Structure 1
């Protein structure tokens, strides 16, 4: 059974949501029902005056692989995640032309009079039907028009249903490597303004494409997630050097060169500061764990 995990910009594990989600024990039964199944992350709207952050909406999916007590935090449990996949943000609700009321992807959010179910909206973990889960992913990839919202099965807010067959739609979205790569590249490219983080080069062709490649810092083959925090933008030559371990990035975002780095002409491509150019949004900065992995397992000193 899928579920929604709701986070806020103030959550202490905001930078590790690709593999960890802390939740209150009152949600333990529900999260246990999601074990080995998929969740969708939801980010609520910022309160007035809150700095930074990203737009509200559903923005990622991942699979729950284990659940265990949170060390040092009585009353909390930790869900461990894998196969994290960040996708274009989907709004909480849709108002279609000529519609009398809003369409909610989580149908339990709507009271019988059409108003928002405020109690359900405040829950950090919420059950989803398979149809609701698929509708959210469909919306992320423009698979339907908002004027005709998809029909979804309504579940009781607190309840369970018998296992259903794995739908083709969900499998296609979460297992397609080509789709994941395209989505990852778009998200990382936009975060960095389609500019090479190591050289500052930003070249755009007449067809709107950029001379940029979006690299996973921790490779996919080593279980690196499809997260903006695990991506950087590089021109092709620097991408090759990065993947081969001839350059890397220090804890202070300084560009590190391997002892095998032989051609000083490449230095002409590197930013004069010697550091990478970071995204505008701090939440998109490269994650220290991924940079550490690259330095330890890929970089050649």
Structure 2
């Protein structure tokens, strides 16, 4: 077994659903096969689509998951699916390079420039130590090794605001953090309390601590937001801990959403269960009764998870 980086675009060329599966051609079969039973990180490249001139991708590692097995694509010769489990988004998307630090050593040439040939491979096997650095950088908030500083007054607006409105300090010190490497990391990544904290932080950051149904944002004196992170497809229904399977909701709307008293249509229109809610709930909803979603399309609720909630949870 060995760990790997799997590249997937904002609008994938292949039939990717990173929370569940990764679609790839036979040319990468050996690299993916070596990662079966081990952990991978997902990388979002600069190109957002299959068009070579496209851009807009964040060039970040954005999530981790575990490869369970590989199955052939019955509809497309010489293509395969890697089915994954334990998907978890990073609280802080991690750039492939920070200062002089390349998280993947093979991406750095001896002169310090980027090895574009290595970078062009969609699947790249990595060392355990490189995975550890990426993992620590992505979950620094949750594991308590990352400091936070307020942005400078003239700092540009961050398109992906970090948790609680703070900007992150560079993580150049991570290699000095003591870890009982793989065992401790795996224990963390499959621990429900850890996953709940990471999922909550990532979802609330994506929604800027704002309730997606009411538009209300409340922050206490200690910087903690009132919003909660809700799963669209519940964990007990095999729903992944993905930002695209999450919503930031106030306590009240989290309660009624989990109980199927409100749901979300394909166009993000809010659906209310008939004759089951008091009129006061309607008055708390955002004016046009459409869900507030993140600006970046790749962070918005995925249609598959919304469809599941409407079919299996909603009591409308």
Q: Quote the residue 2:45 is aligned against.
A: 44
Question: What is the CA deviation profile of residues 167-198 of structure 1, one whole-angstrom value per residue up to 9, with x for unaligned ones?
Answer: 22321331232222222222222222222111
Q: Quote the residue 2:7 is aligned against.
A: 6
Task: Specify every segment of 5 or more residues in structure 1 that has no aligned partner in the other structure, as ranges.
Answer: 96-101, 152-164
Mapped contact 1:258–1:299 kept (Cα < 8 A): yes
Q: Quote the residue 1:121 is aligned against.
A: 119
Matched, 1:210 2:214: no
Cα distance in structure 2, aligned partners of 1:182 and 1:13: 31
Q: Quote the residue 2:94 is aligned against.
A: 90
**Relative to structure 1, is the Cα distance of residues 270 and 149 closer, same or farther in structure 2, using a 3 angstrom cutoff?**
closer
**Relative to structure 1, is the Cα distance of residues 169 and 45 closer, same or farther in structure 2, using a 3 angstrom cutoff?**
farther
Cα distance in structure 2, aligned partners of 1:21 and 1:192: 26
Q: Quote the residue 2:311 is aligned against.
A: 296
**Relative to structure 1, is the Cα distance of residues 166 and 194 closer, same or farther in structure 2, using a 3 angstrom cutoff?**
closer
Q: Quote the residue 2:239 is aligned against.
A: 224
What secondary structure, in the 3-state scheme, does the structure 2 residue paired with 1:167 have? helix
Cα distance in structure 1, aligned partners of 2:61 and 2:132: 12
Cα distance in structure 1, aligned partners of 2:241 and 2:15: 16
**Relative to structure 1, is the Cα distance of residues 133 and 269 closer, same or farther in structure 2, using a 3 angstrom cutoff?**
same
Cα distance in structure 2, aligned partners of 1:114 and 1:197: 43
Q: Which has the higher contact order (CA 8 A, sep 6+)?
A: 1
Cα distance in structure 2, aligned partners of 1:113 and 1:256: 57
Mapped contact 2:59–2:95 kept (Cα < 8 A): yes
Question: What is the CA deviation profile of residues 108-157 of structure 1, one whole-angstrom value per residue up to 9, with x for unaligned ones?
Answer: 22334444333211111111122221121112233477444528xxxxxx
Task: Specify every segment of 5 or more residues in structure 2 that has no aligned partner in the other structure, as ranges.
Answer: 147-169
Cα distance in structure 2, aligned partners of 1:44 and 1:250: 30
TM-score by length of 2: 0.80
Cα distance in structure 1, aligned partners of 2:221 and 2:14: 42
Mapped contact 2:15–2:23 kept (Cα < 8 A): no
More displaced stretch, 189-198 vs 41-50: 41-50
Question: Structure 2 matches for 1:185-200, cutoff 5 A?
Answer: 185-200=200-215
Cα distance in structure 2, aligned partners of 1:22 and 1:194: 33
What secondary structure, in the 3-state scheme, does the structure 1 residue paired with 2:175 have? coil
Question: What is the CA deviation profile of residues 14-53 of structure 1, one whole-angstrom value per residue up to 9, with x for unaligned ones?
Answer: 8722112111211111211111221111122358974654
Mapped contact 1:15–1:283 kept (Cα < 8 A): no
Mapped contact 1:213–1:234 kept (Cα < 8 A): yes
Q: Quote the residue 1:285 is aligned against.
A: 300
TM-score by length of 1: 0.84
Question: What is the CA deviation profile of residues 206-263 of structure 1, one whole-angstrom value per residue up to 9, with x for unaligned ones?
Answer: 2222221110101112221111111111111111011111111122222222245142
**Relative to structure 1, is the Cα distance of residues 166 and 209 closer, same or farther in structure 2, using a 3 angstrom cutoff?**
closer
What secondary structure, in the 3-state scheme, does the structure 2 residue paired with 1:17 have? coil
- Give the deviation of 1:273 after TM superposition: 1.5
Q: Quote the residue 2:184 is aligned against.
A: 169
Cα distance in structure 1, aligned partners of 2:88 and 2:174: 24
More displaced stretch, 255-264 vs 283-292: 255-264
Question: Once superposed, what is the RMSD of the aligned Cα atoms?
Answer: 2.5
What secondary structure, in the 3-state scheme, does the structure 1 residue paired with 2:6 have? strand
Q: Which residue, 126, 129, 132 being the options, matches 2:130? A: 132
What secondary structure, in the 3-state scheme, does the structure 2 residue paired with 1:218 have? coil
Residue-pair matches, total:
281
